[in-house]
Amino acid sequence: MLIPDLAHGPDPEEMANVFVLLLLFIGLPLIEIYFLIEVGSEIGALPTIALSILTAVIGTWLVRLQGFGVLMRVRRMMDQGEVPALEVLDGALILVAGLFLLLPGFLTDIVGFLLLVPPLRRWVVGRYVQVAPAHRTPTRGEGQGPRVIEGDYRRDD
């Protein structure tokens, strides 16, 4: 519905989603600024900037390395006729890790580096994605006769 229903009040689920987005877009940068100031006061401004750049460079290298590994697994699975659904999700999490590592700040760097740990990525995918057992379709020559696809057609001359 495009127009909110004002008679019944706001939907609690929508309000929770708005709160989470507000927390992400306002709270996370404030926490990052706090940590940058604290680290900067301990080791200095230039070393803090250098450390932030170093984590971005190392993270980019690791993301590239692991991304190519996932790409090779996807290619191998497709060559074998399998659907690489979990590998695609693994690649998506590597992409998210790369985004977090490019953002300046130590909290996002920690999350980005954690997402580069393969067992942790598998846990995240398993936690939020239900994997149904694959149903194999019979190949030509298997099964009970010819494969029939029903449908209607119209001939245009």
pLDDT digits (tens, 9 = 90+) for 41-57: 999 999 999 999 999 99
Q: Tell whether the torsion through CA atoms of 104, 108, 110 and 116 is positive or negative.
A: negative
Please indicate, yes or no, if residue 6 is contained in any of the structural domains: no
Region 131-150: mean pLDDT is 59
What pLDDT is recorded for position 99?
92
Higher pLDDT pick, 130 / 35: 35
Please indicate, yes or no, if residue 111 is contained in any of the structural domains: yes
Please indicate, yes or no, if residue 147 is contained in any of the structural domains: no
100, 102, 111 from 107: Cα distances, Å = 9, 12, 6
Please indicate, yes or no, if residue 3 is contained in any of the structural domains: no
The rounded distance, in Å, linking the Cα atoms of 108 and 119 is 19
Helix (H, G, I), strand (E, B) or coil at 24: helix
What pLDDT is recorded for position 155?
82
Please indicate, yes or no, if residue 94 is contained in any of the structural domains: yes
Please indicate, yes or no, if residue 138 is contained in any of the structural domains: no
The rounded distance, in Å, linking the Cα atoms of 120 and 97 is 12
Please indicate, yes or no, if residue 68 is contained in any of the structural domains: yes
Please indicate, yes or no, if residue 1 is contained in any of the structural domains: no
Boundaries of domain holding 92: 15-128
Lowest mean pLDDT among 64-73, 104-113, 148-157: 148-157
Structure tokens at 26: 């306002």
What pLDDT is recorded for position 10?
67
Helix (H, G, I), strand (E, B) or coil at 86: helix
Q: What is the pTM of this model?
A: 0.68
What's the structural domain count of the chain? 1
